[in-house]
Each structure stands twice: as C-alpha cells, then as structure tokens.
Structure 1
C-alpha cells in the first residue's frame, strides 16, 4: 500500500483495480528499459563521420587520371558526381562529390563505384555493397545537408513488392535488380515483382519499368506496386530502352538487337498520350548510345548514329527522327528535362567534364564536377 501512496493512489482502491494499476506500471517500466537497449537502438540510422569512415575521397577525385563515371543533376547548383581512379594502385578506387547550392563535399573512398541518384530536390550518392548484393557488406549513403556532409549506413529491410511515393527506385546498386532506397529512414531493400530494370517515376506518381525474361515488356503502377499494367515491347529480346517525360505523357521505346558491330535499333516507337496510342518512329539512328530523353512538349532528344561512329544528337518530333545541331562533343549519356539536360563526355583519353544545356540542346556549357 505504501507503493500506491507514493504513486498518488488511495489505500481504499479495490484489490483487483490495484493489481491492474501495478501491472500497467510494470509494463511502462519494461517499455522504458527496452527502448534503452541496443536492440531498440538498432532501428535508428547509423551516422558515421566521413573522416572516420576510410581514406579521404579527395585523393581519388584529384588524381591525375581521375575520371567521371556518373552524374545526377537536380539544378545547376545541386548535383552528385561519381569518380574513379584506376591508375594510382593495383585496384581501382572510387569517390563521389556532391554540390548543394555552391557548397561541395567529397565522400570517403569506396571499393566499388558510387551510384548517384535523385531524391526529391537533392542529389545523393549511394555506395553499393562490394559483393553486389544486399546480403553482404554495408551499403552507405552520402549526402550534403545545410549542416554539412552526412555519411549514413543504410539498414537492410526484407524484400518487398510495394514502395512509397517518397522512396527512390534504382537499378544502379545491385546489377540486374531494382532496389528501393528510403533516404529519410536510411533503409534499403530489394523490390520484388513485375519490374527488373530501368525504373522511372513521372511527375504524376506513376512509375514505369522494363521487365521480362527472354523478352521485354513495359510495366507501370500508379499505386506503388499494388497493381500493374503491362505492354509488350519485344517478344524476342531482353534488351530495350525506355524514356518517359516528366509529365508522363511522352514515351519512347526502343527495341535493340545485338550484332557483331554492337547494339542496333530494330524498332522505335513513340506515344504522346501516356501510352494509349503509338507511332513507329521513321528514320531512327542506326544505333543508340544511351536511352532517349523524352520531353513534356511531345518531343525527344537522343544520342546515336552509325555503330562505332561519333554519336550525334537527334530530335524526335511528329514520329520522325532528325539530326539536331548545337552538339558540343562526345556525350556518353543524356539526362534531365527541358529546363536542364546534361551528360558527361567520353573524349579520347579520359572523362573529366560534364556538359549541360538550358535551352533544349541549342547551346552547351562545360564544368568539372569536383
């Protein structure tokens, strides 16, 4: 009874009610103790100081033979770039540079290439596990906040068939698989289900992917993977390319055939009404160096040309592909939208610069993302 008085309870309470109160107090104490245990703390993101995580990545980025491997741009002043150095030792070294509104930071070294992805209004870098699977070593996320650089160990979650609207889908972390990254919760997991590669989510919330074994299908979902739609792209090949405009209305699909001279375009189709109707593109380039870039105005840009030749810039409009002027050099990829399109160059020796355009490819400028 003294315990009851210390808890502010009268001695006159019925015995059964007293037992219930004591049981509730015991549950609260046990819950507090549980939250203070290491097991409960394991659900919290593990933030690591970049300086304590390994060798500084600046030695990779500033190496005389450093090369750009990837670039993701949100704006001209918000981007993430992956770098490599394969000449300073017996094994290659990798690092990433992130720019956030003029402030830049470089990640620690990593034994495999960083994947650069977009998360909302920022660009981040993810260091995949060296084993190429989410069942092995750690997966790290590097981002730059207004408080400084942040290196976080991503927690592995069980594979899932669904995903949230704020999560990021990418096929750049585990080869041949789509991975779901939740930057806010610092988690990563495999996506099981219809899509297996080339995920892209448009501004309406619909997510598109390619799928198929021995064939290629386009699949899409409007509810985070709960239900799917599908359309056959190629019944004989597992290779294909997909481009979707930010508004989700313009789609470009390409069937690719492998020959002795490389990958050639077997067929290209385009839709400007969200996939309801399709046209076969006339006079497409013989081969494509990267997936086309679909725009909200019902057109698309692409890099292509004869196999083995210097790539040229083409504009796809009204179902016809034509050469487009203003191209500055040897672009290896083309990303972005009508406001900002970009890619990194493949010159004869090494890649150190990114080219970008803010007027749909009419004029271009260059910068070194480091």
Structure 2
C-alpha cells in the first residue's frame, strides 16, 4: 500500500484494480531492466555505436599523407575505398569511403586497415578486429544504402564448414583464415574445411580456393562447402595466387617465392576449360605485385615486371605473357573484369587516385575516391 501512496493512489482503491496497477508497474520495471542489459541488445544491429567506433574518418582521408590501401568496385558508381594515414608515427589510422550512385559517406577511424568487399551490386567495408582473431574485439561493417550510411557491429558466430548464397568469403579479415561475412544478418564467422586462401566465387555459383601445407592445391565447391573437388597445382610451394574469370572457365594459377626484392614468379599456368587442362604460361613477368585478372575469353591481365622496376601491364594470350599498351601510369593493383577494370595509381610513391577502364584496358579514367 505504501507503493500505491507513493504513486499517488488512495488506499481505498478496489483490490482487483490494485493488482492490475501493481502488475503494470512491475512490467514496466522489468522491461526497462531488460532493455538496459547487454544481452537484450547484443543481437540488434545498430547504426550508432559510439563506444566502439572511433572518431570521424574524414581526418584520415583528408590528411596530407593519406593513401588508398584498397579498392572494390561493384559498378562504376558503387565502390568502397580503404584509406590510411600514417602521419602520427607508428600508430597509423584507417578509414573507408563508400560511394553509392553519387552519394558518399566516410566510415569512422579504425586502428587496423578496412577490408573492402562486394556483394552483388553493392560495395561495403569491414573493420576487422584489432587482435586479428574473431575471439578478440569487435568487428564493424560500414554500408551505404538509400536510407543513408549504416555502421553495424558484426555478431560473431561459431565456425562452420559450409556457407550460403549471398554470403561473402574473404581471407583479408583474419590472417591465414577464410572468413564468412553475412551482410544481411550482420554476422561473421570462420570457415573451416578445405580452403585456406584466395577464395573466388564465379558467376555460376562455384567457389574456388587454394589449400595445402608446403604445397598448393586448388579446391572448389558447387554446393556451399558440402562437397569439394580438388587438384594439385604445386607439390613444393604453398605461396600461390589464383584468378578466376566471371564464367569460371578461365583460371590463372601463379606460384611465387618471397625474396628481398619482392615476390618472384616461379611458375604460371592458365586453364580455359574450368581447370580440366592447364598450360604453362611462357615468358611471365619476373615478379608480381597482385593476382592477375582472368577474362571469359581465355585471356588475362596482370601487373608485373623486373624486381624494383616500374610495374607494367602484361596480357596472357595463347599461352604467353606479353607487354600490353594502353596505360601510361603506375598501378598498385588491378581488379575487375572485361566490363570494368580498376586499380589504385601510384604517382610519386603515394597512392591517392584510382584509374578505371570500361573497354578492356584500351583507355583509362582517373578519379580520387574520397
């Protein structure tokens, strides 16, 4: 009754009404306590996480020493770019910029580099855990939708051996492991099983990966990891790169060894029949910076050249690699397909712009993704 009086209710109130009032008050208290507990909000994605997110990333992107670290283009007007700022000494800061049909947004500053990824016609960015393991601190996902920018804390899930259509595979979020990102559910988990690096999914739904300890095997699955096929590529070296064309018929495998001057190419092979037969590529560039880009027509482009020299674009055609003209500058990376090729440019040892080509590398356009 004292509680009723403190609420402003008379002692003469009918008993059944007293019980109802007490029940309502109790329900409100329980609801407030439930919403204030971490368990109640752990599974709800949030667009504002001030306790986890860093300061605005615009200071990183606009720094005088800012550089483009990664670039992912889903379409000409939908892309994600990862930036770095190392003017503060060994403690670098990182951010990401997203563009969606002309609207741009910048992700918060983060202590480790953002990973830029693609799902369908959307590009997005993931801020990995600082410790390099999913058992550590939080991971964040930054997306740009028609409703505006969305910053979401990714929920960790138990490792699995399978994945579903629409989920994104990456070997850049946790070193040495393939991670499955589910953008729709805002979850992330380790993929256990055959592959350990270079995951590539083609347009048919088949996903390819490289595997092996002290050797390189190519493995593939058509059913999300339930069953696998495999083939040996190199019995003596596990440092390999893989490129797959959108239709899955052209594959390029590269074996490299790490030297003081970079990654030296020891073997390069190409297949134009979905991996059934392989041909050794003649006259490959002595060293490579990134993986080649494979095309549906049985050819491929790549950046390479002698160690320490200015990188050049090479084209693989009819089983041989030859210098390819059409680009006058320096590229730090090359990605895409026959409809859209792109890569960060390195003028004067600092990467600030990105170039793209929509005519298979014949002509190029430059822009700054900030």
| TM-score under structure 2 length normalisation | 0.87
Give, in whole Å, the separation in 2 of the partners of 1:216 and 1:115: 25
Q: For 2:164, what is the secondary structure of its paired residue?
A: coil
Contact 2:115–2:172 under 8 Å retained in 1: yes
Structure 1 residue 50 displacement after superposition: 7.3
Q: How does 1:91-106 map to 2 (within 5 A)?
A: 91-106=91-106
Structure 1 unaligned runs (5+)?
A: 1-32
Deviations 1:327-349 (A, max 9, x none): 22111111000000011022333
Structure 1 residue 92 displacement after superposition: 0.8
Q: How does 1:117-136 map to 2 (within 5 A)?
A: 117-136=117-136
Match of 1:26 in 2: none
Structure 1 residue 49 displacement after superposition: 5.7
Match of 2:78 in 1: 78
Give, in whole Å, the separation in 1 of the partners of 2:204 and 2:287: 31
Between 260-269 and 213-222, the greater mean CA deviation after superposition: 260-269
Structure 1 residue 45 displacement after superposition: 2.3
Between 223-232 and 259-268, the greater mean CA deviation after superposition: 259-268
User: For the structure 1 residues 254 and 150, does the alpha-carbon distance in structure 2 shift closer, same or farther, using more than 3 Å as the test?
Assistant: same
Match of 1:203 in 2: 203
Give, in whole Å, the separation in 2 of the partners of 1:214 and 1:52: 39
Q: For 1:60, what is the secondary structure of its paired residue?
A: helix
Give, in whole Å, the separation in 1 of the partners of 2:183 and 2:221: 21
Contact 2:53–2:110 under 8 Å retained in 1: no
Match of 1:268 in 2: 268
Q: Does 1:164 align with 2:167?
A: no
Q: For 1:47, what is the secondary structure of its paired residue?
A: coil
Match of 1:321 in 2: 321
Match of 1:229 in 2: 229
| TM-score under structure 1 length normalisation | 0.87
Q: For 2:348, what is the secondary structure of its paired residue?
A: coil
Contact 2:251–2:270 under 8 Å retained in 1: yes
Match of 1:29 in 2: none
Structure 1 residue 233 displacement after superposition: 1.3
Q: How does 1:347-358 map to 2 (within 5 A)?
A: 347-358=347-358
Match of 1:30 in 2: none
Give, in whole Å, the separation in 2 of the partners of 1:349 and 1:275: 38
Structure 1 residue 277 displacement after superposition: 1.4
Give, in whole Å, the separation in 1 of the partners of 2:58 and 2:322: 42
Structure 1 residue 52 displacement after superposition: 8.7
Q: For 2:47, what is the secondary structure of its paired residue?
A: strand
Structure 1 residue 262 displacement after superposition: 2.9
Between 277-286 and 236-245, the greater mean CA deviation after superposition: 277-286
Match of 1:287 in 2: 287
Q: For 1:48, what is the secondary structure of its paired residue?
A: coil
Contact 2:45–2:152 under 8 Å retained in 1: yes
Deviations 1:300-331 (A, max 9, x none): 01111111111111111111111110122111
Between 182-191 and 250-259, the greater mean CA deviation after superposition: 250-259
Contact 1:50–1:151 under 8 Å retained in 2: no
Give, in whole Å, the separation in 1 of the partners of 2:58 and 2:261: 38
Give, in whole Å, the separation in 2 of the partners of 1:54 and 1:291: 32
Deviations 1:39-97 (A, max 9, x none): 46533323326799331110110111111110000111100000011104662111000
Structure 2 unaligned runs (5+)?
A: 1-30
